[in-house]
Amino acid sequence: MDRILLEVRAGAGGDEAAIFAGDLVRMYQRFAEKTGWRFSVLDSNQTTLEGFKSLVAEIKGEGVREALQHESGVHRVQRIPKTEKSGRVHTSTASVAVMPVVEPQEFDLNPSDLDISFFRSSGPGGQNVNKVETAVRIVHKPTGVVVASQSGRSQSANKESAMSMLRSKIYEEMQRMEAEKRGDMRRSQIGSGDRSEKIRTYNFPQDRVTDHRIGKKWHNIESLLEGNLEPVVKAFKKAEEEK
């Protein structure tokens, strides 16, 4: 059974970027539900416009890593935002990271490297939704990586989720640095997983989604955002086989 961490963050574009990040979150959640995978939110920072500044979820199921490994990178949307009164098309971005879930026995963190604090969970708009400090924030002092979890009902559940996120992030960063040392980081455009790389554009005026790595285009954006990601997954599988 595969397990991955999915992180979606709003990029450039203010409120519209957060709305687009929310669209991507729902796309992956619906795809997971259709495929029979379990989608569990570990942490989220929701905005008042049905958007997300950031969200981290664990997705568990057969073949999940193979299906979603090519989603890492910057996703770009071109459309007239709900917040736009003059009808102009805006360009906004959101970044997606797909990381393996790393077990403690595979990669352990030194407790003395961690700064752990607790706070109250907050909902959209920042209001506190919990009177007890169940949310957990962990700082990895050597690298400055910060993670938080507030979706669980208890402090211990949130701490476990936060530790899982931290292990995955530190492990991924170490793997990236190792790959850079070996000089093979960008051997292949497909699946390089570079978060700064613009990988896909969702053009609403032309009802077209373009993946810039394999040069494929799909129409019917709304269907894709409803979680019908099968054509994209199949296209990448075919591209991998043809390599």
Sketch the domain layout of the chain as residue ranges. 2-102+187-242, 111-182
Is 53's pLDDT higher than 70?
A: yes
The residue type of 71 is E
What pLDDT score does 188 carry? Answer: 44
Is 216's pLDDT higher than 90?
A: yes
Domain 111-182 has CATH 3.40.640.10: no
What pLDDT score does 187 carry? Answer: 45
Tell me the pLDDT band of 186, cut-offs 50, 70 and 90: very low
Within the chain, where are the H helices?
14-35, 64-68, 155-182, 221-225, 230-242
Count of beta carbons in the 10 Å neighbourhood of residue 169: 21
Tell me the pLDDT band of 197, cut-offs 50, 70 and 90: low
**Opening angle at CA 151, ends 125 and 222, nearest 5:** 70
> What does pTM read for this prediction?
0.82
Strands across the sheet with 135-140, in order?
114-119, 135-140, 145-149
DSSP bridge partners of 203: 78, 208
CATH of region 2-102+187-242 = 3.30.70.1660
Q: Report the alpha-carbon distance of residue 152 to residue 222 in Å, rounded.
A: 31
pLDDT tens digit sequence for 86-122: 889 999 999 999 998 888 878 888 899 999 998 887 6
